[in-house]
Structure 1
Amino acid sequence: MLRKIPIHLIVSVAAGIATAMALSALTHEILHLLGVFPAIGEPNFDTRLTLIAFFYHSIYAIIGAFVTAIIAKEKAKKAVFILGTKEAIMWLLGIILLWHQAPAWYNLSKAFAGIPLAMVGGKLYELYKLSKQEKTKTVVR
Structure 2
Amino acid sequence: MPELLTYEITFGDCDPAGIVFYPNTFRWMDAAFHKLLRKHGGHAYLCETLGALGVGLVDASAQFQKPMRDGEQLSLRIANLKWSRRTLTIHYGGEVDGSARFKGHEVRCLFKETKDGIVAGEIEQLRQLLEPSNE
TM-score (normalizing by structure 2): 0.30
Which structure: larger Rg?
A: 1
Q: Comparing both structures, which one devotes a greater share of its residues to strand?
A: 2
The two structures have a TM-score, normalised by structure 1, of 0.29
Which structure carries more helix by proportion? 1
